[in-house]
């Protein structure tokens, strides 16, 4: 007998496998991907029908029946279901959770996407039918003729009165249509025509194979390695134009949207209504609207951060991952997927070109290009031939020997003052927010810790309080030490707030903007700061790595990096790669206009290869050294890793569970080329009152152990985090 396989649409690890139900004849044939209502225990649950199965004999338990069919057409395409299954098996998450990535809500509910009324011109309309004396009405009709149609709200914004709009809408040949709202930033009247700019010879050489892959409808990943300003975005635009010309959908992924507003702008300016923008700050209504526009093929280009890779396109013709090395493509909570992998899987399923673009490709990506898995395309020169900035490295140990204990070296002071006096702008990077980095009692030496996490509290000037950077806990600054009651409490280390204060002290007239998570908590604050900095309302932009990417500012001639070491010293195999990228990207902010740029990097490790190679913008040199180290030490891409964190509020239970997991895995994979390390304490012992122990699995092939974990008791352990391919 035939049964339907149903995934219960609820986030629980216990229900991660499909359940079997009978599909009563009265429902006819239901396509996989459709949502249904099923009985489960004593209640009814929403489920997704993912397929059918033929049972050879009657099962020894009573099968229950589907109660209701919820969709008239399937919500998920076959490709979405296949990709979700691939995600769930690769990243070790439940199938239901992976399917939910393709939806707008956590639970699927039918909804009415917001619509608005448009005035649309039909072919039979003739301007001469509007009397000449009705000047406003004629003007509005002429405008509508030019653009074809426009939403009422826009016409109101343009100054047409309610009456005029009403009268025009009553004209024969003008119709009111309810359309899904256009949620791109503004309505576009004049398109930039950027897709028609002729390519340079170097760009044509790169574009040719991409075009061929699109025309031949074959899956082909490309690694487009090109310095910033070499014309990569122009290639994306050209390829997207060809893709939508074929009636297919293009997905363009960018790192955090706020900081990459420029590329979004260029797409919107070029393609207008064809573009929908996806990002985390959209309301549910806006998201529904955008989703629906893509599903109905009102728009054919999705541009957005990580989650845009799940856009509901049925016929994808191109996927672009811009700045493919960016760590924001990896989701670091819940399902720890990497959007680049999902992009490649979807590209494979849709047989299309996937362009991974970067000035500093991920080590793993460049290695795959070397092995021929990706086709390597290079744009080594800038279009406008600006020279790359001059980089100076300052050894902070020497500064201290000379008696300079300030956060600024002499070279940095010099760079700041010369930039200010020449009327140019500067970007300054410090990877620590807050005022001080820790608070310590001078007498007993106790550091003030968060009561819920095993980390030091950070002093924040706003609100004069101590905050934990791992949970929401905050408290007033204690006047006496909680341990020994001494009054000699001191702040140590410098965060962005302290450096801002120091800058004000040394450079009284400088206009300084600070950009870090404390500021960007407020809606649109980051956009406003970046816009004002772009308009030269500030002289110095000081911030965490948020300042390292995105925007081109033509007056920025100087970049200062206060401590290159803060990234180098993180305990991850990828620390050097992260440092090289951060330094190279941040340095690249200097001298983007026609002025030459200067960079000062302060460090306690001036001989580190990531620092030395970034000084000369030498990606290949860095890659060669780094890939050698990875091979010698058995790190990706040579070995795969699975990182697990077991969490529990009780330390003894935690230890028992963690040991049990390790023992189980060791028994099953004894004698195989698989290392199982742990359980061990990694960094922070406790976060939000949950103790943590880590387990690391490493091997040249981890497919079998993944399969084992997926089907074992380990998978359903509460509090277990699994991070496949940690970066």
- Pick from 152, 452, 554, 668 the residue near Zn ion by CB under 5 A: 452
| Coil, helix or strand at residue 50 | strand
Which element (helix H / strand E) includes 504? helix 496-506
| Coil, helix or strand at residue 328 | helix
User: CA-to-CA distance for 149 and 132, rounded, in angstroms?
Assistant: 21
| Coil, helix or strand at residue 2 | strand
Report the 10 Å Cβ neighbour count for 266.
17
Structure tokens at 264: 């979004």
370 binds ligand ADP (CB under 6 A): no
Query: Judged by CB under 6 A, which stretch of 35-43, 199-207, 460-468, 663-671 contacts ligand ADP?
Result: 199-207
Query: Judged by CB under 5 A, which stretch of 63-71, 217-225, 409-417, 470-478 contacts Zn ion?
Result: 470-478
- Pick from 481, 547, 599, 697 the residue near Zn ion by CB under 5 A: 481
User: CA-to-CA distance for 706 and 611, rounded, in angstroms?
Assistant: 37
- Cβ-based nearer residue to Zn ion, 194 or 446: 446
96 binds ligand ADP (CB under 6 A): no
- Cβ-based nearer residue to ligand ADP, 119 or 210: 210
Per partner kind, with CB cut-offs from 5 to 8 A, the member of Zn ion, ligand ADP, none near residue 270 is: none
- How many angstroms separate the most distant Cα atoms in the chain? 92
Q: CB 581 → ligand ADP: shortest distance, Å? A: 15
Helices (H), 246-338: 261-271, 284-295
Report the 10 Å Cβ neighbour count for 493.
17
Per partner kind, with CB cut-offs from 5 to 8 A, the member of Zn ion, ligand ADP, none near residue 468 is: Zn ion
Query: Judged by CB under 6 A, which stretch of 226-234, 480-488, 564-572, 687-695 contacts ligand ADP?
Result: 226-234
Interaction with Zn ion in 238-277: which residues (CB under 5 A)?
A: none
Q: CB 632 → ligand ADP: shortest distance, Å? A: 33
Interaction with ligand ADP in 374-403: which residues (CB under 6 A)?
A: 383
Per partner kind, with CB cut-offs from 5 to 8 A, the member of Zn ion, ligand ADP, none near residue 450 is: Zn ion
Which element (helix H / strand E) includes 364? helix 363-370
- Pick from 101, 214, 450, 541 the residue near Zn ion by CB under 5 A: 450
- Cβ-based nearer residue to ligand ADP, 230 or 605: 230
Q: CB 646 → Zn ion: shortest distance, Å? A: 19
Q: CB 469 → ligand ADP: shortest distance, Å? A: 33
Q: Would you call the peptide bond into 212 cis, given omega within 30 degrees of 0 as the criterion?
A: no
230 binds ligand ADP (CB under 6 A): yes
Per partner kind, with CB cut-offs from 5 to 8 A, the member of ligand ADP, Zn ion, none near residue 453 is: Zn ion
Interaction with ligand ADP in 291-350: which residues (CB under 6 A)?
A: none
197 binds ligand ADP (CB under 6 A): yes
- Cβ-based nearer residue to ligand ADP, 200 or 327: 200
Say if residues 647 and 453 touch (Cβ distance below 8 Å).
Answer: no
Report the chain's C-alpha Rg in angstroms.
29
191 binds ligand ADP (CB under 6 A): no
Place of tokens 């000699």: 488
- Cβ-based nearer residue to ligand ADP, 550 or 560: 550
Q: Is 355 exposed, middle or buried (0-12, 13-18, 19+ CB in 10 A)?
A: buried
Reference 432, options 333, 528, 514; nearest CA is 514
Q: Is 552 left (phi over 0), alpha (psi -120 to 50) or beta?
A: beta
Provide the CA 393 distance to its chain's centre, in angstroms: 31
User: CA-to-CA distance for 223 and 377, rounded, in angstroms?
Assistant: 6
User: CA-to-CA distance for 514 and 550, rounded, in angstroms?
Assistant: 16
User: CA-to-CA distance for 588 and 229, rounded, in angstroms?
Assistant: 10
CA distances from 501 to 506, 513, 613 (A): 9, 11, 32
Q: CB 2 → ligand ADP: shortest distance, Å? A: 53
How many residues belong to the chain? Answer: 727
- Cβ-based nearer residue to Zn ion, 297 or 442: 442
* Strand ranges in 529-673 using DSSP code E only, listed in sequence order: 540-543, 556-561, 598-603, 640-648
- Pick from 33, 229, 389, 560 the residue near ligand ADP by CB under 6 A: 229
Per partner kind, with CB cut-offs from 5 to 8 A, the member of Zn ion, ligand ADP, none near residue 441 is: Zn ion
Determine how β-strand 720-724 pairs with β-strand 640-648.
antiparallel
Q: CB 200 → ligand ADP: shortest distance, Å? A: 5
232 binds ligand ADP (CB under 6 A): yes
Q: CB 477 → Zn ion: shortest distance, Å? A: 14
Give the HSE-up count for residue 165: Cα atoms under 13 Å, Cβ half-sphere.
19
- Pick from 226, 272, 317, 636 the residue near ligand ADP by CB under 6 A: 226
Say if residues 127 and 145 touch (Cβ distance below 8 Å).
Answer: yes
- Cβ-based nearer residue to Zn ion, 321 or 468: 468
458-460 sheet: strands from edge to edge = 458-460, 465-467, 474-476
409 binds ligand ADP (CB under 6 A): no
Q: CB 1 → ligand ADP: shortest distance, Å? A: 57
200 binds ligand ADP (CB under 6 A): yes
- Cβ-based nearer residue to ligand ADP, 231 or 699: 231
233 binds ligand ADP (CB under 6 A): yes
Structure tokens at 223: 């690694």
Q: CB 263 → ligand ADP: shortest distance, Å? A: 7
Query: Judged by CB under 5 A, which stretch of 136-144, 171-179, 422-430, 453-461 contacts Zn ion?
Result: 453-461
Per partner kind, with CB cut-offs from 5 to 8 A, the member of ligand ADP, Zn ion, none near residue 203 is: ligand ADP
Structure tokens at 81: 């279901």
- Cβ-based nearer residue to ligand ADP, 233 or 544: 233
439 binds Zn ion (CB under 5 A): no
- Pick from 486, 616, 624, 700 the residue near Zn ion by CB under 5 A: 486
User: CA-to-CA distance for 625 and 266, rounded, in angstroms?
Assistant: 36
CA distances from 511 to 420, 508, 526, 542, 587 (A): 10, 9, 17, 11, 21
User: CA-to-CA distance for 569 and 13, rounded, in angstroms?
Assistant: 36
Per partner kind, with CB cut-offs from 5 to 8 A, the member of Zn ion, ligand ADP, none near residue 483 is: Zn ion
User: CA-to-CA distance for 84 and 332, rounded, in angstroms?
Assistant: 18
Per partner kind, with CB cut-offs from 5 to 8 A, the member of Zn ion, ligand ADP, none near residue 440 is: none
- Pick from 257, 453, 542, 600 the residue near Zn ion by CB under 5 A: 453
| Contacting residues toward ligand ADP, per CB under 6 A | 197, 199-200, 203, 226, 228-234, 383
| Contacting residues toward Zn ion, per CB under 5 A | 441, 443-444, 446, 450, 452-453, 468, 470-471, 473, 481, 483-484, 486
């Amino acid at each position: 007998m035939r049964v339907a396989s149903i995934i219960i649409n609820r986030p629980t690890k216990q229900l991660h496998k499909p359940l079997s139900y009978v599909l009563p004849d009265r429902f006819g044939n239901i396509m996989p991907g459709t949502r249904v209502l099923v009985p489960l225990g004593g209640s009814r649950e929403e489920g997704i029908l993912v397929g059918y199965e033929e049972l050879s004999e009657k099962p020894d338990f009573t099968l229950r029946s589907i109660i209701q069919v919820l969709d008239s057409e399937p919500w998920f395409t076959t490709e979405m279901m296949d990709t979700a299954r691939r995600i769930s098996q690769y990243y070790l998450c439940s199938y239901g959770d992976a399917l939910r990535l393709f939806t707008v809500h956590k639970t699927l509910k039918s909804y009415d996407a917001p619509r608005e009324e448009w005035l649309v011109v039909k072919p039979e309309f003739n301007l001469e039918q509007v009397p000449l004396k009705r000047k406003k009405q004629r003007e509005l009709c002429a405008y509508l003729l030019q653009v074809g149609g426009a939403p009422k709200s826009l016409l109101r914004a343009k100054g047409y009165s309610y009456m005029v709009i009403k009268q025009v809408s009553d004209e024969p040949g003008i119709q009111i249509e309810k359309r899904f709202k256009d949620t791109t930033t503004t309505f576009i009247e004049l398109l930039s025509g950027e897709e028609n700019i002729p390519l340079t010879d170097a760009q044509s050489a790169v574009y040719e194979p991409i075009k061929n892959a699109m025309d031949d409808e074959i899956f082909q990943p490309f690694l487009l390695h090109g310095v910033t300003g070499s014309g990569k975005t122009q290639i994306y635009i050209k390829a997207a134009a060809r893709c939508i010309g074929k009636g297919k959908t293009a997905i363009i992924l960018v790192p955090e949207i706020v900081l990459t507003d420029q590329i979004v702008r260029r797409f919107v300016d070029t393609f207008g209504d064809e573009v929908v923008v996806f990002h985390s700050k959209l309301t549910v209504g806006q998201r529904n609207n955008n989703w629906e526009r893509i599903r109905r093929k009102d728009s054919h280009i999705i541009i957005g951060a990580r989650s845009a890779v799940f856009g509901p396109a049925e016929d994808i013709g191109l996927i672009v991952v811009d700045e493919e090395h960016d760590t924001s493509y990896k989701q670091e909570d819940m399902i720890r997927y990497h959007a680049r992998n999902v992009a490649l899987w979807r590209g494979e399923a849709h047989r299309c070109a996937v362009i991974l673009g970067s000035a500093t490709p991920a080590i793993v990506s460049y290695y795959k290009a070397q092995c021929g898995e990706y086709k390597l395309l290079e744009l080594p020169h800038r279009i406008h031939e600006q020279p790359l900035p001059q980089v100076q490295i300052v050894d902070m140990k020497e500064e201290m020997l000379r008696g300079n204990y300030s956060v600024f070296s002499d070279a940095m002071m010099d760079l700041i003052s010369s930039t200010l006096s020449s009327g140019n702008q500067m970007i300054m990077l410090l990877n620590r927010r807050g005022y001080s980095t820790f608070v310590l009692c001078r007498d007993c030496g106790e550091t003030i810790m968060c009561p819920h996490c095993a980390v030091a509290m950070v002093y924040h000037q706003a609100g004069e309080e101590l905050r934990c950077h791992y949970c929401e806990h905050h408290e007033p600054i204690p006047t006496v030490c909680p341990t020994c009651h001494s009054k000699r409490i001191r702040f140590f280390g410098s965060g962005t707030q302290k450096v801002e204060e120091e800058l004000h002290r040394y450079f009284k007239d400088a206009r300084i903007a600070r950009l870090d998570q404390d500021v960007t908590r407020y809606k649109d604050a980051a956009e406003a700061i970046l816009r004002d900095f772009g308009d030269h309302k500030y002289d110095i932009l000081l911030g965490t790595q948020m300042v390292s990417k995105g925007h081109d500012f033509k007056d920025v001639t100087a970049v200062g990096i206060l401590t290159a070491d803060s990234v180098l010293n993180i305990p991850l195999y990828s620390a050097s790669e992260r440092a090289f990228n951060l330094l190279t990207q941040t340095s690249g902010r200097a001298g983007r206009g026609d002025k030459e740029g200067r960079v000062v990097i302060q460090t306690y490790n001036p001989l580190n290869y990531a620092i030395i190679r970034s000084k000369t913008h030498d990606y290949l040199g860095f890659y060669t050294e780094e890939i050698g180290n990875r091979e010698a030490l058995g790190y990706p891409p040579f070995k795969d890793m699975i990182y697990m964190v077991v969490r529990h509020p009780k330390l003894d239970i935690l230890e028992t569970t963690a040991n049990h997991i390790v023992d189980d895995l060791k028994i099953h994979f004894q004698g195989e080329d698989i290392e199982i390390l742990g359980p061990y304490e990694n960094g922070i012992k406790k976060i939000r009152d949950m103790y943590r122990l880590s387990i690391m699995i490493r091997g040249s092939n981890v497919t079998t152990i993944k399969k084992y974990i997926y089907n074992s008791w380990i998978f359903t352990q509460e509090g277990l985090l699994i991070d496949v391919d940690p970066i």
